[in-house]
Structure 1
Amino acid sequence: MPSGPSPEEASTSTVSRPTFKALGLIDPLLEAVEQLNYKQPTDIQVEALPHALEGRDIIGVASTGSGKTAAFALPILQKLWEEPKGLFACVIAPTRELAYQISQQFEALGSAIGVRCAVLVGGMDRISQSIALGKRPHIIVATPGRLEDHLENTKGFSLRGLKFLVLDEADRLLDMDFGPIIDKILKAIPKERTTYLFSATMTTKVAKLQRASLSNPVRVEVSTKYSTVSTLLQYYLFIPLSHKDVHLVNLANSLAQNSIIIFTRTVHDAQRLSIILRTLGFPAVPLHGQLSQSQRLGALQKFTSGNRKVLVATDVASRGLDIPSVDVVINFDIPTHSKDYIHRVGRTARAGRSGKSITLVTQYDVELVQRIEAVTGKKMELWATDKEEVALLRERVEEAGRLAANEMRDEASKGGGYGRKRRRDDGDDKDNRDRDDDVVEAGMPKKKKKGKR
């Protein structure tokens, strides 16, 4: 494994860290990183860029928020500058929102060389994507299901001339059972190519994918252990299961001046809680995999712009997305995997800022909390609660809950509904493939799906 500055060296000395110019970037890209205010390369960029610019395949092990998008985008753009061609690179990402974010970063970094990107994701109009492909983009950023769809059904589209393939968030791609689709895509692209595989963890599935898709790769790793940042304050609230809703509303009330992401396990609860909060006057918007793509992008835009202070989301929002300023993360449900907890709370306390996470713990969740504390090496502190304030809220919250249940029943009878078989919502690319609805705050997809806790 290539050597690089230790975390201690990185934190105590910035003099020894190389500049983007020293790493070998050309002038148009140096201008782009300066315009984007990238002061210094991050650890993963320092480790990956020299090997990538030499043309090597890369395995990058790095957590979300580490700067890995630029670590694979910059060498691709530099090679494109040297050999301007048609379709040049394909990036495969697990979620639609991450795909859009990657495309935006490619376009920002490649603005000086006129790079053209096309995004192929489910939930958006297939015909307009086919038209975009007809304009010969340099970079395609896609979720697996929609990319496979275009390879099979879009006349004249192929990946036979591809020079670069990037598999981003590979562990999540495989967690979401995209393995068989990725195998098909690998058969449709040339073996003579450069491949970058980035993952937060190296599971057995990822190792198998690495063997199938990379040739003599260099492994660069800047994150060997799951951990939370030191600027994050972690709290828990121990409550009976039946009191979760009222305690959540009490938290939203006491933290009303903050931007808050509330994570739920199910689509049903994300939608239900957003309705309850809005009924009680909180500016909340839902984000989950059963909204159309334009609704999801609209929800994100409202939250990141500050137009809505509360985002109620499933794990669709837990990884990859760069939401600049989140003050508080609330876990309404505890995730069953510790790494999912770390990704969730990683939405706050980013880039050296401070942040809080508060986890609602019921009598059924104690073992999960102990497991998370063992993995992170940190004990959560008890969040102080005024019991009288909570008691005063109970009646209003219960009434709001009844109104939310009625609203969701009404929508279900019209053909909407939330939370089908999946206990967790991963925003699978195959859901809502052809939907391109207008953004509405509580828009309902047409398929009838039964809610489930």
Structure 2
Amino acid sequence: MAAADGVLPHVPESRAAVPTTSSRPRPAQSRRQAAGTKRKYQASSEAPPAKRRSETSFLPAKKTAAKETPRTFKGKAQKTFSPKRSSAGASDGNQERKPGIKTSSLFKNNPEIPQLHRPVVKQVQEKVFTSDAFQALDLHPHLISTINTVLKMSSMTSVQKQSIPVLLEGRDALVRSQTGSGKTLAYCIPVVQSLQAMKSKIQRGDGPYALILVPTRELALQSFDTVQKLLKPFTWIVPGVLMGGEKRKSEKARLRKGINILISTPGRLVDHIKSTKNIHFRRIQWLILDEADRILDLGFEKDITVILNAINAECQERQNVLLSATLTEGVTWLADISLHDPVSISVLDESHDQSNPKSKAIPEASLPQASDELDSFAIPASLEQYVTVVPSKLRLVSLAGFILQKCKFERDQKMIIFFSSCELVDFHYNLFLQTLLSGSGALAPGALPCASTRLKFLRLHGDLEQEERTAVFQEFSRSKTGVLLCTGTWVPSLVWEDPTCRGATKPVRHNY
């Protein structure tokens, strides 16, 4: 009985250890394996792994307990272990909510808005139109008739009143005036007047007599449209445009046939200078740099240098005009290398409107400095600018509320919103189409019944195809209402230079 008592406790242990292995080894094999393991770890001066010992000793107890628990407490097994899990989750949540750190919602616990210390800048209200008519100028009668009937303009603007007589005299000029003041016609009218008055009639095959450089494709199309309208009585003068997004082969064909007034962006013109053999500047009489500050902002300094070198190599005597809405150091540098004894025309206050442009002729040595731009600035009277400083998480909802307030519940509002990248334009465009135009929300009490029809979104950026960009630009120019989401700082010059937009609508710029 003693032997049996000593044997009986040993048998269940060996049986309980069996399920931990996939097959039951024979006693001889197990002894050989144990001896081999012992020799192996004695040779490597390491102890046998403790993991295997723990598996053989503790796993059976765990597995038997696991088997016995469902049998004994079948319905209470989950209740027994769930408090441990819930307590662990609660402890994790307490660790996430650390004391002293506030988790803010959208409209609560917002950070304090800092005070922005900015220099005081004087805003000058520049008078756009004057009472002087184009008939007072020494222009061709057909040109005056075209301005009155086709362009539907009878009185000159302030910059046109000062610039056109100076340019007709053959002087170089640096024209500084606000966006939307009519600078395009200020140089287009003298160009057309001088070319149609040439004794030897211009032939198409002569090549370009006037070169107009603009920063963007849309401004190139707008300037080309204006020149085309002015040239309706003078069909022998052929205008043309070169810009990115068009086929080089078709542009080369037009250059081969001949273009007398060439409008181009700097990058595409440099491309043709390097690759097109039939382009030349032997008869250039006008070189006009429109929106010079934007040309420099977009990084065309090297291209302008290449173009000036190409023109100077073939033609030394010409009339140069530089137009800009702002006077920066880059514009001053560009005026130094391109203008010769220029007349500085700056329309900033009412005294300039009443002055004689001849008496305001200023030599190049006394050109206004770029620091003057910090003292004052001028914007069109029909333009309203809004600047709002809000926390980052409230920018989107603030912008959406601003759009609804101005464009959905007010009449005749046109808005331009600038973004820093093309991706942001696409994101907000798709978001506003799905939310602000969904029509799911009810109108506020007292709202206009057809207010939802006035809200229209358009987008414009460099990643769009040229055909789509042109269509968007023309649609926004013709429309009386709408919200244009765009990139860049050149869009205002495209829209507010359009006479159809001036006075009829109130463009709104929201710095976002």
Give the TM interval when normalised to the shorter protein. Answer: 0.5 to 0.7
Which moves more between the two structures, 229-238 or 122-131? 229-238
| Shift in alpha-carbon separation, 1:159–1:231, aligned structure 2, 3 A | closer
Contact 2:243 / 2:268 at 8 angstroms: preserved in 1? yes
Match in the other structure for 1:164: 286
| Shift in alpha-carbon separation, 1:172–1:355, aligned structure 2, 3 A | closer
Match in the other structure for 2:165: 50
CA distance, structure 1, for counterparts of residue 511 and residue 170 of structure 2: 45
Contact 1:123 / 1:292 at 8 angstroms: preserved in 2? yes
- Equivalent position SS for 2:254: helix
CA distance, structure 2, for counterparts of residue 118 and residue 98 of structure 1: 14
| Shift in alpha-carbon separation, 1:272–1:116, aligned structure 2, 3 A | same
Cα displacement (A) at 1:216: 1.8
Match in the other structure for 1:215: 340
Match in the other structure for 2:240: 118
1:198 partner letter = L
Contact 2:294 / 2:490 at 8 angstroms: preserved in 1? no
| Shift in alpha-carbon separation, 1:8–1:205, aligned structure 2, 3 A | closer
Match in the other structure for 1:69: 184
Contact 2:179 / 2:496 at 8 angstroms: preserved in 1? no
> Which of the residues 378, 382, 391 maps onto 1:240?
391
Contact 1:289 / 1:316 at 8 angstroms: preserved in 2? no
CA distance, structure 2, for counterparts of residue 253 and residue 169 of structure 1: 33
**Superposition pairs of residues 14-413 of structure 1, within 5 angstroms:** 17-35=131-149, 36-83=151-198, 84-85=201-202, 86=206, 87-114=208-235, 115-189=237-311, 190-223=315-348, 225-254=376-405, 255-256=407-408, 258-280=413-435, 281=437, 283-306=456-479, 309-315=482-488, 317-323=490-496, 350-351=502-503, 354=506, 356-359=508-511
Which moves more between the two structures, 78-87 or 158-167? 78-87
| Shift in alpha-carbon separation, 1:81–1:174, aligned structure 2, 3 A | same
Q: Structure 1 unaligned runs (5+)?
A: 1-6, 327-346, 361-453
Which moves more between the two structures, 299-308 or 55-64? 299-308
Contact 2:215 / 2:291 at 8 angstroms: preserved in 1? yes
Which moves more between the two structures, 188-197 or 206-215? 206-215
1:148 partner letter = V
Cα displacement (A) at 1:75: 0.9
Higher helix share: 2
Cα displacement (A) at 1:301: 2.5
Deviations 1:337-365 (A, max 9, x none): xxxxxxxxxx98x44865555555xxxxx
Contact 1:233 / 1:357 at 8 angstroms: preserved in 2? yes
- Equivalent position SS for 2:402: helix
| Shift in alpha-carbon separation, 1:159–1:230, aligned structure 2, 3 A | closer
Contact 1:120 / 1:141 at 8 angstroms: preserved in 2? yes
Contact 2:178 / 2:379 at 8 angstroms: preserved in 1? no
Larger CA Rg, structure 1 vs 2:
2
Cα displacement (A) at 1:162: 1.2
Deviations 1:229-283 (A, max 9, x none): 4555554545321232233333333422643322212221111111111223364
Contact 2:179 / 2:493 at 8 angstroms: preserved in 1? yes
TM-score of the aligned structures, taking structure 2 as reference length: 0.59
Contact 1:302 / 1:308 at 8 angstroms: preserved in 2? no
| Shift in alpha-carbon separation, 1:176–1:358, aligned structure 2, 3 A | closer
CA distance, structure 2, for counterparts of residue 64 and residue 354 of structure 1: 14
| Shift in alpha-carbon separation, 1:289–1:276, aligned structure 2, 3 A | same
| Shift in alpha-carbon separation, 1:230–1:218, aligned structure 2, 3 A | closer
CA distance, structure 2, for counterparts of residue 215 and residue 303 of structure 1: 39
- Equivalent position SS for 2:134: coil
| Shift in alpha-carbon separation, 1:159–1:325, aligned structure 2, 3 A | closer
1:103 partner letter = F
Q: Structure 2 unaligned runs (5+)?
A: 1-123, 350-375, 438-454
CA distance, structure 2, for counterparts of residue 353 and residue 285 of structure 1: 17
Contact 1:23 / 1:46 at 8 angstroms: preserved in 2? no
CA distance, structure 1, for counterparts of residue 397 and residue 126 of structure 2: 46
- Cα RMSD after superposing both structures: 2.9
CA distance, structure 2, for counterparts of residue 94 and residue 150 of structure 1: 16
How many equivalent pairs are there?
A: 330
CA distance, structure 2, for counterparts of residue 196 and residue 324 of structure 1: 18
Q: Does 1 or 2 have the higher relative contact order (CA < 8 Å, sep 6+)?
A: 1
CA distance, structure 1, for counterparts of residue 322 and residue 215 of structure 2: 13
Deviations 1:17-48 (A, max 9, x none): 54323221111211111111212111111111
- Equivalent position SS for 1:21: helix
| Shift in alpha-carbon separation, 1:355–1:322, aligned structure 2, 3 A | closer
2:427 partner letter = R
Aligned residues: percent identity? 32
